[in-house]
Copies of this chain bind each other. A is one copy, B any other.
Amino acid sequence: MDLPQYLKRRQRWVNDGLKRWVPAINEFPPQIHEAVHYSLFAGGKRLRPILALAGAEAVGGRARDALPLACALELIHTYSLIHDDLPAMDNDDLRRGKPTSHRVFGEALAILAGDALLTEAFRLMARTDLMTRVPLQRILRAMGQVAQAAGPQGMVGGQALDILTQGEKIDAPLLEYIHSHKTGALITAAVCGGAIIGGGSEREIKALRGYGEKLGLAFQVIDDLLDVQGKKGRMGKGVGKDQSQGKATYPALYGATGSRRMAEEFIAEALAWIASFSRRANPLREMAHFVLSRKS
């Protein structure tokens, strides 16, 4: 399959969905909607939504049915970036090549834009009118999994620990905890959520959970490596920040070569989880390879 072509087509789906379903930029009061649109349409890769669509496909469901869930995941991801960048958190000036939300709109509006995005995500997932072919039980189950993954037992918990351990020496289990919660949980919820909407069996959902967890870990290892090695222009955000902020990273614990090897191993494990799936899981397979090769 032609992955770049596939990704581009799916990005268009997601962008169209977001444009249609998120309040328009000229709604009142304009500033909050401007701030939401500014971060939401800043050129994200739409990895999480595409994983959700691919999760639905992999179990034989219709990808289209998972589009509201997919878009909701991007809303949640975008909110988390805005809040992570705040002065009280990572204090970042640059994101996706543009000044961060609080640099443009001020801290108050950046906090509120994040709050708006998170809330809109759940409003979108509750829109049964957009998912008339999906049994309601599946919608509620997928929402519950996404909420669990995004909340204090997932992403928020990982971010809290990341902030609290800055400058401290942390060991491998703690590092894996941070990353599996901060990044991995939402990636896993994307794949599983899509599979739930798509009508996957318990066995399939379990396998896709395994795939998502390993993919999420690989993704974070590569992210850490890019922070060390990446070029500022290509990354679209400050690089070398992890180290200067005293953050725990894989390269710091295992070195660049060791980290690279770990990422490859995680991807091999991710692929093993879906080895018995049909060719409908090929997009998930290709995306696993893509995570390993990405340069930004």
Contact = CB atoms under 8 A, between A and B. Distances in A.
Interface of A: 23, 27-29, 31-33, 36, 79, 83, 86, 88-89, 106-109, 111-112, 114-116, 118-120, 122-123, 126-128, 136-137, 139-141, 143-144, 147-148, 150-153, 156-157, 159-161, 163-164
A51 B209 CA distance: 39
B139 A140 contact: yes
Contact of A122 (B33, B109, B116, B147): B147
A29 B127 CA distance: 33
Nearest to A158: B29
Contacts of A119: 118, 147, 150-152, 156
Oligomer copy total: 2
Contact of A140 (B111, B140, B160): B140
B122 A108 contact: no
Contacts of A28: 157
A79 to B, nearest CB: 8
Given A89-B111, A126-B144, A163-B108, A157 B29 contact: yes
A159 B112 contact: yes
A163 B23 contact: no
Nearest to A89: B108
Given A27-B152, A83-B111, A128-B140, 9 more contacts: A28-B157, A32-B152, A83-B115, A88-B108, A109-B163, A112-B163, A116-B157, A123-B151, A143-B143
B112 A127 contact: no
A144 B150 CA distance: 18
Contacts of A116: 151-152, 156-157
A17 to B, nearest CB: 17
B120 A118 contact: no
The CB with the most chain B CB atoms within 10 A, among A31, A111, A116, A139, is that of A111
A126 B140 contact: yes
A166 to B, nearest CB: 10
A130 B109 CA distance: 36
A29 B140 contact: no
Nearest to A123: B147
A28 B122 CA distance: 25
B164 A29 contact: yes
B115 A88 contact: no
Contacts of A126: 140-141, 143-144, 147
A86 B112 CA distance: 11
27 contacts: A23-B152, A31-B164, A32-B157, A33-B152, A36-B152, A79-B115, A83-B111, A83-B115, A86-B108, A89-B111, A108-B160, A108-B163, A109-B164, A116-B152, A118-B119, A119-B150, A120-B151, A122-B122, A122-B143, A123-B151, A126-B140, A126-B144, A127-B144, A128-B137, A128-B140, A136-B137, A136-B140
